[in-house]
Amino acid sequence: MTMVKTQPVLFAFEQDFVDSLRCIPMAVRFKLDLCGIKVSLRQWSRFTLADRSEMLTAPCDTPAQVERYRLDLIDRIAQRTGQLADSIPVEDDPAWAVLDRTPDALSDYAASIGMAPLTTEQWRSLTDLQRFALLKLSREGHDNVNFVPALREFGLPSVFVS
């Protein structure tokens, strides 16, 4: 398992739902991927605001914390929805943790919207959570309206190719 430093960060591009946490923030989505549990938006909406805040702020850095987070999440899903939690595979070497090159999927997405790819130095300068967010925001088949705002927020030039 890759050791990471998770933080209860709410990005500026997520500000439209910060007060109620009505959508799953990137910081929580990051933790979900680390612990291998899928939470649907429908399930998330059944959590109390206190539940959502706890899921955002709970530590998930060490293997013991990841396991505690996973077990707590499984319990919350059962309590709030009456459903069993769905597992997702946990990647041994997720793309956001690879620092020696910018992931092809991210470079391909940047090119598809007329942007130059991030350099390896730019990619390496980001936090784990920022790299995770950019990969999520550039996934094929998703509404990626926050990709360019995220680049700006992370201090990366959004250079459009002519």
Per-residue pLDDT reduced to its tens digit, 30-85: 999 999 999 999 999 999 999 999 999 999 999 999 999 999 999 999 999 999 99
From first CA to last CA, the distance across the chain in angstroms is 41
pLDDT the model gives residue 158: 63
Statement: residue 1 has pLDDT above 60: no
- pLDDT grade for 17, boundaries at 50, 70 and 90: confident
pLDDT the model gives residue 20: 77
- pLDDT grade for 162, boundaries at 50, 70 and 90: very low
The structure's pTM equals: 0.89
- CA 159-103-99 angle, 5° bins: 100
Alpha-helical runs (H) found in the chain: 26-35, 41-46, 49-57, 63-81, 104-112, 120-125, 128-137, 147-153
